[in-house]
Amino acid sequence: MQRWIIHIDMDAFYAAVEQRDNPELKGKPVIIGGAGNRGVVSTASYEARKFGVRSAMPMVQARRLCPQGIYLFPDHRKYARISAQIHAILDAFSPLVEPLALDEAFLDVSGMELIAADPVAIARQIKRRIRDELGLTASAGVAPNKFLAKLASDLGKPDGLFVIRPGEEQKVLAALPIKRLWGVGDATAAILAQLRIQTIGDLARMNPENLARRLGKAAYELWQLANGIDHRPVIADNDPKSVGKELTFEHDLHYREEMLAHLLALSEKVGWRLRRLGVAGRTITLKVRFGSFRTITRSRTLPEPTCLDDIIYATVREILTQTALPEGVRLLGVTVSHLSAGISQTGLFIAEEQGKKLAVYSAIDKLKERFGESIVRRGGLVKTDTDD
């Protein structure tokens, strides 16, 4: 499956927020930064950048370059609040979102084109929602990996949407200065300059073994980046140890049929949450609390991880069959643990059979997202009182 990563980065973030909240600042050179002699520029509006003002520059220098600029202190609490709103929007587009900073994040949208829009359309939708709901502009980069996606969002700034498709890596990279590679600072750039390497294209053409003699271990990774190769996964920041759901009944249950109906509903909820998080798990646990409050848990570990409702359900059903029920049941719970990440990234650990089903589940999940979790249910399931 083709990997697709989107990198989102807000344009002149702090300055854009202040311009949004104070229309008098629109179209003007706005510089946000610290006070005092040692204060530095946090960011500058694009109008101020025309004067040469840049992030991390001493404020005194900025004032010299742009005396007519409007200088403001940062309002970090406000930016954090808006950052949370941005990330909430991003979370709606992929279960695999890796926040990098207040104003930027990676999204892995691989495979989503099978069920929703293609990656470029997803990027366009994200930009539109950020503009419509927050009144701010973001730049998006769409590419087969993180390095290229981050580069792409920068190449389109401001309000950009820059796409690097597989096969276009060399064309985009070749003429860029070597410092655009991650991990190339002044020291590495100086060594490379001795080898007459100025551009990413120069580096890409080198023999990686020769390079390693000068640069050591880092050489191979740099050479890969220069050739547009980057296997690093997008890592979602919410990294749960387990995903579970339980339900307490108004009246204790005495019939296994009834319990199974509830277990199916719980399995569907757990499966959906796993898929939304982009994870799958190997250990399935059934929890039973009896009328007397005595509680037991029973687990099974599967040969391979799953995020599929019917495998989760089949497992808890089997566990229930082998569990003695000497009294009425007050609560049932289903939990999946021993999680591994990255279904949408690689699909690697999902066996072929599961992979096919995953496509079907993905379509169902889309409906659930649009119409609410209860809309899609299997036939024959009794209505349940859920506790969420």
- Chain residues binding ligand TTP by CB under 6 A are 9-14, 42-43, 55-56, 103-104, 157-158
Closer CB to ligand TTP, 100 or 193, in the complex: 100
Whether the CB-CB separation of 34 and 73 falls below 8 Å is answered with yes
> Quick one: what does residue 299 bind among Mg ion, ligand TTP, none, with the CB cut-off 5 to 8 Å set by partner type?
none
Please tell me the distance from the alpha carbon of residue 187 to that of residue 193, in angstroms, as a whole number: 10
Please tell me the distance from the alpha carbon of residue 301 to that of residue 200, in angstroms, as a whole number: 48
Whether the CB-CB separation of 265 and 309 falls below 8 Å is answered with no
Does an H or E element contain 311, and which? Answer: helix 309-321
Q: How far is the CB of 54 from ligand TTP (least distance, A)?
A: 9
Does an H or E element contain 123, and which? Answer: helix 119-134
Q: How far is the CB of 42 from ligand TTP (least distance, A)?
A: 3
> Quick one: what does residue 35 bind among ligand TTP, Mg ion, none, with the CB cut-off 5 to 8 Å set by partner type?
none
Closer CB to ligand TTP, 43 or 110, in the complex: 43
> Quick one: what does residue 43 bind among Mg ion, ligand TTP, none, with the CB cut-off 5 to 8 Å set by partner type?
ligand TTP
Closer CB to Mg ion, 56 or 187, in the complex: 56
Closer CB to Mg ion, 42 or 110, in the complex: 42
Q: How far is the CB of 302 from ligand TTP (least distance, A)?
A: 43
> Is 133 known to be catalytic?
no
Q: How far is the CB of 135 from ligand TTP (least distance, A)?
A: 15
**Which residue's Cβ has the minimum distance to Mg ion?**
9
- Residue of 104, 250, 318, 369 marked catalytic: 104
Q: Give the gyration radius of the chain's Cα atoms.
A: 26
Question: What residues make contact with Mg ion under the rule CB under 5 A?
Answer: 9-10, 13, 103
Question: Residue 228 gets which letter from DSSP?
Answer: T
291 to 223, 248, 253, 257, 387: CA distances (angstroms): 64, 11, 9, 18, 18
Say which residues have a Cβ less than 8 Å from residue 212's Cβ, sequence separation at least 6. 219, 220
Closer CB to Mg ion, 157 or 298, in the complex: 157
Find how far residue 312's CA is from the centre of its chain. Answer: 25
Token pair for residue 320?
Answer: 């229930």
Instruction: Name the nearest CA neighbour of 314 among 361, 353, 264.
Output: 264
> Quick one: what does residue 188 bind among Mg ion, ligand TTP, none, with the CB cut-off 5 to 8 Å set by partner type?
none
> Quick one: what does residue 313 bind among Mg ion, ligand TTP, none, with the CB cut-off 5 to 8 Å set by partner type?
none
Q: How far is the CB of 143 from ligand TTP (least distance, A)?
A: 17
User: What type of residue sits at position 288?
Assistant: V
Give the 3-state DSSP-derived string for 299-348, with helices as H, strands as E and coil as C.
Answer: EEEEEEEECCHHHHHHHHHHHHHCCCCCCCEEEEEEEEEEEEECCCCCCC
Catalytic positions: 104
